[in-house]
Chains A and B, each alone.
Chain A
Amino acid sequence: MEQKIDAQQVRKVAKLARLALSDAEIEEFTGQLGAILGYVEKMNELDTTGVEPLAHCLPISNVFRADEVRESLGTEKTLANAPDRDGAFFKVPKILEDSSA
């Protein structure tokens, strides 16, 4: 069977997913993901021409909230689970590149 995914692709995906996988895991996942993807391609047996993608089974739309203020947690509760803090802020190692979108 044709290989669905190689180690290089697995590394790329791991980077996208922010997982510092070990080499052993890369190897293991390459095989396992390949097998799963091979199975998943079973879907191609089905002709889905003209079939709408179904992201949600619900018959509902337009669910809105009134623009009314609800109480926030406040700084202390917001930071209660923080692994590291600096006063009223979350603290992280220096952020270098601005990748905000």
Chain B
Amino acid sequence: MSDLTYRIIVGLEIHVQLNTRTKMFCGCALRFGEEANSRVCPVCLGLPGALPVMNGQAVEYAILAAMALNCEIAEFTKWDRKSYYYPDLPKNYQISQYDLPLGSNGYIEIPLDDGKTKRIRIRRAHLEEDAGKNLHTAGYHSQVDLNRAGTPLLEIVTEPDMNSADQVRALAVELQRIVRYLGVSEADMQKGHMRFEPNVNLVIERAGQKFRTPIAEVKNLNSFRALERSVAYEARRQLDEFLETGLTMQMGNKSTRGWDDVNEATVLQREKEEAHDYRYFPDPDLVPVTPAPEWLAQIRSRLCELPVHRQVRYVQEHGLSDYDAGVLTADRLTADFFEQATQAGANAKRVCNLLTQVGLKLANERGRDLSGLGLEPFGVADLAKMIDAGTISASAGNTILTAMVETGKKPDVLAQELSLIQKSDVGELERILDQVLAENAAAVAEITTGGKKAQKSRGFLMGQVMQKTKGQANPKIVSELLNRKLGTPDGKGTQ
């Protein structure tokens, strides 16, 4: 067994719910958690005679997302009907796109742990309508709710380019960041805005021979964690199964498995991929989409710098840690806020610290974004500049930022009101320091003789000055004064 190696192969089929106000082909409002079957009209109920009309916004969002995923945008695309019978599918066909998807041949760059990125190819991205929901909770029958039926979905199919559970997670997180950046989806996994279905198998090499395990498609994943764990679980399970049975991939032995969140295991749902016959054909109720070059250019102009690129740039340009850069670029509003503050002349690291240590925490607690807290990039920039100038301390800066959120006042006003402005008057501070030195001869002696406790005594004297100034002394100036009077801590003597 020792000469056995294996590699995980994962491709993803992803459904992203677009953030439109209304459904794909009718004017029903898209809302989560309403009374069952209340957001339904003749079109999405599939009533006789009702006809679909494309939501232009959904098409735009889909094109924008496909562009961000570096897809080629089709010059001619059309709608097809995909036929299958299911109670949550009122027409018993889904309006989708078959042979001419809106986007194709793209890629997404995902961040790897080593700070590099990896390209995952995207086979296609197409628009379609969602089905409703079947609820299987009520005894001997099932319930059908059509509120979700007709919701616009962007289906993204990647090539099997991911080779670890980490990479799968990274793609999911990155995709979420991208669609949120573009504003095309809320991408909330719990609400089913993003649904990932990984296709997993292994390439096993043993004694110079290559084997491929049967592909398993995993469903019911409603968190990044579940996605990551299900892939890792599948890898283990498939390896075990191979060792036990030697089963390899053949035509028709693809299986479907569901993720059991409680037991953290995948459970077999369908053994053999049924020979589905979807009878795709062009939907005669809809006309083709042939995006004009001007329209595409207009959409492309809304394409922003992708988060993964921003993250790398923050590290390179501003010297931020990869972690901090990741936090700031997690959503577009935060990153835009950060950039506006730095463009207003504030030190990037200072702004970063204020935002990551205080601003985002408050935002999180209150379920808002930064501007939702009443903060403005200029205000935070001013605050950062005050810290840099020594007008206030860094910790006072955090206090003031909190007060800014609470009161909506400007940082300089708050610094005054809260008496957080540091004493930077050298003459004044020197007078206080002289007094402290006079009162603490023993400590002074310890420092000037370079005793064992010299460092500690320095701190003690600093503390005394702070006490006498009620914490408002500018520590930098006090420290310089101390150096001048008693020599630097490394013993280089006075100036």
A70 touching B36, Cβ below 8 Å: no
Q: What chain B residues lie within 8 Å of A65 (beta carbons)?
A: 27, 53-56
Chain A nearest CB from B221 CB (Å) reads 14
A88 touching B38, Cβ below 8 Å: yes
8 Å CB contacts to B: which residues of A52-101? 55-56, 58, 60-75, 78-79, 86-95, 97-101
**Which of B130-138, B181-189, B412-420 contacts the other chain?**
B130-138
Q: What chain B residues lie within 8 Å of A75 (beta carbons)?
A: 35-38, 40
Given contacts A16-B279, A69-B29, A94-B136, contact A63 B20 (CB under 8 A): no
Chain A nearest CB from B301 CB (Å) reads 19
B26 touching A70, Cβ below 8 Å: yes
A73 touching B45, Cβ below 8 Å: yes
A78 touching B54, Cβ below 8 Å: no
B287 touching A60, Cβ below 8 Å: yes
Given contacts A55-B282, A72-B29, A88-B36, contact A67 B21 (CB under 8 A): yes
Q: Once bound together, how far apart are the Cα atoms of A100 and B148, in whole Å?
A: 14
Given contacts A74-B38, A94-B136, A95-B136, contact A89 B29 (CB under 8 A): no
Q: Once bound together, how far apart are the Cα atoms of A18 and B290, in whole Å?
A: 36
Does residue B269 face the partner (Cβ distance < 8 Å to A)? Answer: yes
A64 touching B288, Cβ below 8 Å: no
B22 touching A69, Cβ below 8 Å: yes
Does residue B294 face the partner (Cβ distance < 8 Å to A)? Answer: no
8 Å CB contacts to A: which residues of B278-319? 278-279, 282, 284, 286-292
Does residue B484 face the partner (Cβ distance < 8 Å to A)? Answer: no
Q: Once bound together, how far apart are the Cα atoms of A67 and B26, in whole Å?
A: 9
- Chain B residue nearest to A64 in the complex (CB): B56
Q: What chain B residues lie within 8 Å of A98 (beta carbons)?
A: 219, 269
Q: Once bound together, how far apart are the Cα atoms of A71 and B22, in whole Å?
A: 11
Q: What chain A residues lie within 8 Å of B286 (beta carbons)?
A: 63
Does residue B266 face the partner (Cβ distance < 8 Å to A)? Answer: no
A78 touching B37, Cβ below 8 Å: yes
8 Å CB contacts to A: which residues of B20-61? 20-22, 26-29, 35-42, 45, 53-59
Chain B nearest CB from A88 CB (Å) reads 4
Q: What chain B residues lie within 8 Å of A67 (beta carbons)?
A: 20-22, 55-58
Q: What chain B residues lie within 8 Å of A100 (beta carbons)?
A: 86, 88-89, 131
- Chain A residue nearest to B88 in the complex (CB): A100
8 Å CB contacts to B: which residues of A18-62? 18, 55-56, 58, 60-62
Given contacts A65-B27, A73-B40, contact A90 B143 (CB under 8 A): yes
Could you say which of B57, B82, B287 has the most chain A C-beta atoms within 10 Å of its C-beta? B287
B86 touching A64, Cβ below 8 Å: no
- Chain A residue nearest to B20 in the complex (CB): A67
Q: What chain B residues lie within 8 Å of A101 (beta carbons)?
A: 82, 84, 94, 276, 278
Given contacts A61-B290, A64-B55, A65-B54, contact A94 B36 (CB under 8 A): no
Does residue B368 face the partner (Cβ distance < 8 Å to A)? Answer: no
Does residue B231 face the partner (Cβ distance < 8 Å to A)? Answer: no
Q: Once bound together, how far apart are the Cα atoms of A70 and B42, in whole Å?
A: 12
Does residue B323 face the partner (Cβ distance < 8 Å to A)? Answer: no
Q: Once bound together, how far apart are the Cα atoms of A65 and B56, in whole Å?
A: 6
10 smallest beta-carbon distances between A and B, as pairs = A70-B27, A64-B56, A89-B143, A67-B57, A88-B36, A90-B144, A65-B53, A95-B142, A78-B40, A61-B288
Return 18 A-B CB contacts under 8 Å, by A number.
A16-B279, A55-B282, A62-B288, A62-B289, A63-B53, A64-B53, A67-B21, A67-B55, A69-B22, A70-B28, A71-B27, A87-B36, A88-B36, A88-B145, A90-B87, A90-B146, A92-B143, A101-B278
